[in-house]
Amino acid sequence: MKKNKKRQKANKWNQFLEIPQEVSTNIPKLTVLGFGKLLIENYKSILEYQEFYIRISTSIGILNINGYELHLEEMTTDDLLITGKLESIDFESITDD
C-alpha cells in the first residue's frame, strides 16, 4: 500500500510540473517514421538481432520488430534507432501471475 501512495504522490508532482511520463518513468516510447525508421526510447536490452527480426526487452514487455534489411543504426544506453523495411511491430506484455 505504501508503494502505491508514493506512486500517486510522484504522479501528482509530475503532472504539476508537466513532466512527460516517459521521462519520469522507464516506460518505453516508440516513434515510427514512415516504413523505414523506428526510434525506441527507454529500452532495457536487445534480446535477438537478425536482418529480418529484432526482439527488444523493455520494462513492460518484449517488443518484436519484423521486416527486411533491419539494422541498428544508432544505439545509446537509452535510445535505439532501427532502420530498414518495417513490416510489423508486436508487443508481448509481462503478466504477473
Residue 1 lies in a domain: no
Place of cell 504522490: 9
The whole domain housing 43 covers: 26-93
Residue 13 lies in a domain: no
Residue 11 lies in a domain: no
Residue 20 lies in a domain: no
Residue 47 lies in a domain: yes
pLDDT at 54: 97
Q: For residues 28 and 60, is the Cβ–Cβ distance under 8 A?
A: yes
CATH number, domain with residue 50: 2.60.40.2000
Q: What is the value of pTM for the model shown?
A: 0.74
The rounded distance, in Å, linking the Cα atoms of 97 and 89 is 25
Residue 81 lies in a domain: yes
Three-state DSSP class for residue 60: coil
Residue 69 lies in a domain: yes
Split into its structural domains, the chain has a count of 1
Residue 14 lies in a domain: no
Residues contacting residue 50 through CB under 8 Å, at least 6 positions apart: 70
For the chain, how big is the Rg over CA atoms in Å? Answer: 16
**97 residues of the chain, pLDDT tens digit each:** 555 555 555 566 656 666 555 555 678 899 999 889 999 999 999 999 999 999 999 988 999 999 999 999 999 988 999 999 999 999 998 766 5
The rounded distance, in Å, linking the Cα atoms of 21 and 36 is 26
